[in-house]
Structure 1
Amino acid sequence: MSRSLLGRHLRGGLTGVAVAALVLTTAACGGTTRGEDEGSSSGGSAGASADPDAEIPADLAVAFLPKQLNNPYFDVAAAGSERAVGEIDGEFSQVGPSEASASSQVSYINTLTQQGADVILTSANDPNAICSALDQARSGGASVVTFDSDTAPECRDVFINQATADGIAQTQIDLMAEQIGGAGQVAILSATANATNQNAWIELMQEYAASEYPDMEIVTTVYGDDEDEKSFQETQGLLQTYPDLKGIISPTTVGISAAARYLSGSEYKGRVALTGLGTPNQMREFVQDGTVTAFALWNPEDLGYLAAYTGAALAAGQITGAEGETFEAGDLGEYEIGADGVVVLGEPTVFNAENIDDFDF
């Protein structure tokens, strides 16, 4: 499927989901997509001015630093970034830890700073643990773009958010409610305990469920640390601890696929509902065999693609990260920066048996 066609599918995704202000870490960060205006505060470098007509420098060194290497979700995002860097004739590299621990990214950022990276694209394992290292990188001249999971806003130039936190949270709760009739015990299988995006979504899921589905009880949150085997084991533990469990929500691609693999080969298949955030290629077999009815996600390749173009625009001086600035992101078109330097990719979409074969990522 082509990028432009896939983008149209994703941007035409959810219906009936309220899109509210983005909530991340302890600060409220508004984001905009294609001209939508949210909030009034601005990010960016104090006193800096943008030149929208500035040319992107030749041979721009763009480094991609995910939460961890060999994670299918970040592999897809990296492919998007690499494609974007190729379009601007830059130099792409990818480095990262094998485990998604809070401070595991620090040494890689320090090395990239020493090597003189022009742009660092990173998804933070912890909102604060890498701030000092990113400050040094920015002092050395690097532009820093976070995507997927943010740092504290002052630690980067722009954050590329997948979708609004409210939209992501409400979608997952609505999907679960549809499958269990809006009542029963539900558990959450998350990634790491410090992941800013996961924690924001979980808090909003709890609030939304309490408000809209009072008979749905979220009994616990467990952490698979974005490791397949640990997520698999945590799923098994949930089912043993809560024999009346009606469903599991896993807002992480590693977690949902591991949980689906466990359920598909167990007595709980068809009895315990599973939803969350996953890629179509990971989840296709579990949708086809009836383990999973529906789940959601945005296009991670587009997320990485947008992050790279944002970093290039920063490095060129086309934008500074201030609210209201606009820039072109290749095939994705024009984006506008929202409050606190946040750009929103777009709305997620829901995948089910009817549409999952239309996607290939």
Structure 2
Amino acid sequence: MEWIRTHRARRRLSAIAALASVALIATGCAAGGGGDGGGDGSGQDGDQTITFIPKQLNNPYTDVVLGGGEDGAESAGFASSQVVGPLDASASSQVSFINAETQAGTNVIVIAANDPDAVCPALEEARSGGAKIVAFDSDTNPDCRDVFISQVVAKDVALIQVELIAEQIGGSGEIAILSATANATNQNEWIKYIEEELDSNPDYADIELVAKVYGDDDDTKSFQEAQGLMQAHPNLKGIISPTTVGIAATARYLSTSEYKGKVALTGLGLPNEMRPFVKDGTVTEFALWDPAQLGYVAAFAGKALADGDITGAAGDTFEAGDLGEREVGEGGVVIVGPPTVFNADNIDEYDF
């Protein structure tokens, strides 16, 4: 809680910076500059630059992640940091931004991939030019980056969502998944584990997954997909939405529909967005980690790579400022922390 309170103000500033990036993209310009550090990734301390490329800009979850990233970049000692990225979360929408950072000689590129493979050729070119690549939130193909900063152990994210929906529907009935984009690495990994758990755990033998739909992390489309699920599956008892945009849009739909209190909704959401739906009884419980910590650790990992303190090999360790030492695991994966379950009893304790 103390870490959250300390970094809250800077997160708001990051959201403003992200919105500024939107305006620059609309005029065909890149946000800020990043060429001062040179392209060999070995700029002297104080000269290195870092750029964050999220799945899409103007996304509430992304704003919080980027707020932590900006804090981390400043604390780690980067000379400058910036945010650039697309307004849509399509597979190829990030490529032009990666190419621009390669040309600018940016030392560290931190990216949440919309598609694990579509970004690879551009990232490989950036690495050839000396840039260090940190994936966060949604991984690239591991061959295209140095490390991946993961929210939590992927299977744990899946299991907690299955547990929550099972409790809320009494252990039986039809459920559906409303995801983000069809190619999102993190979403698909969680869904894979959700399906495996439903199929293999006898405790969930009476739960049937009847549909998977994709809202593309777009509020309007997610709302429409939630509406469509109820029309297509009138016996639906629960929805899992492992995306902050999707769960908020679905909650908004359910809150004013005949299904409020009848169809359970859980998944991954931001407390500030979900609070009114918990208060009015639309949602009982949902989960998430502190997204700002994801960006914060990613910045420090990028600095350790740029300084040559780590290579991304399993067993490497680096200091992540206020969050202490972190270790690189198998496959170059760094785990940030466990998820938290939010409900009416604790949601007012969180502000992000």
Question: Could you tell me the TM-score, scaled by structure 2's length?
Answer: 0.87
Q: CA deviation at 1:55?
A: 11
Q: 1:257 — aligned with what?
A: 248
Query: Are residue 329 (structure 1) and residue 317 (structure 2) matched?
Result: no
Q: 1:28 — aligned with what?
A: none
What is the one-letter code of the residue matched to 2:52? F
Query: What CA deviation, in whole Å up to 9, does each residue of 1:88-110 have, x standing for no partner?
Result: 33211000000000010000000
Q: 2:12 — aligned with what?
A: none
Q: 1:62 — aligned with what?
A: 50
Distance in 2 of aligned mates of 1:5 and 1:322: 33
Query: Are residue 223 (structure 1) and residue 211 (structure 2) matched?
Result: no
Higher relative CO (Cα under 8 Å, sequence separation at least 6) belongs to: 1
Q: 1:339 aligns with which of 323, 330, 337?
A: 330
Q: 1:98 aligns with which of 75, 87, 92?
A: 87
- What secondary structure does 1:87 align onto? helix
Q: What is the aligned residue count? A: 315
Distance in 2 of aligned mates of 1:81 and 1:329: 11
- What secondary structure does 1:278 align onto? coil
Matched-pair contact (CA < 8 Å) for 1:77–1:304: yes
Structural mapping, 1:1-361, within 5 Å: 1-3=1-3, 57-90=45-78, 91-212=80-201, 213-361=204-352
- Structure with higher helix content: 2
Matched-pair contact (CA < 8 Å) for 1:256–1:276: yes
Distance in 2 of aligned mates of 1:334 and 1:161: 15
Question: Could you tell me the TM-score, scaled by structure 1's length?
Answer: 0.85
Residue identity (%):
62
RMSD, aligned α-carbons = 1.5
The ranges of structure 1 where at least 4 consecutive aligned residues each deviate by more than 2 angstroms after the TM superposition are 4-7
Query: What CA deviation, in whole Å up to 9, does each residue of 1:258-278 have, x standing for no partner?
Result: 000000011100000000001
Distance in 1 of aligned mates of 2:114 and 2:190: 15
Unmatched segments (≥5 aa) in structure 1: 8-53
Distance in 2 of aligned mates of 1:209 and 1:56: 51
Query: What CA deviation, in whole Å up to 9, does each residue of 1:166-224 have, x standing for no partner?
Result: 10000000000000011000000000000111111101101101222010000010000
What is the one-letter code of the residue matched to 1:2? E
Query: What CA deviation, in whole Å up to 9, does each residue of 1:56-114 have, x standing for no partner?
Result: 72132110100000011111000001011111332110000000000100000000100
Query: What CA deviation, in whole Å up to 9, does each residue of 1:265-320 have, x standing for no partner?
Result: 11100000000001101101110110000000111100000001100110011100
Matched-pair contact (CA < 8 Å) for 1:210–1:216: no
Matched-pair contact (CA < 8 Å) for 2:76–2:321: no
Unmatched segments (≥5 aa) in structure 2: 8-41
Matched-pair contact (CA < 8 Å) for 1:56–1:313: no
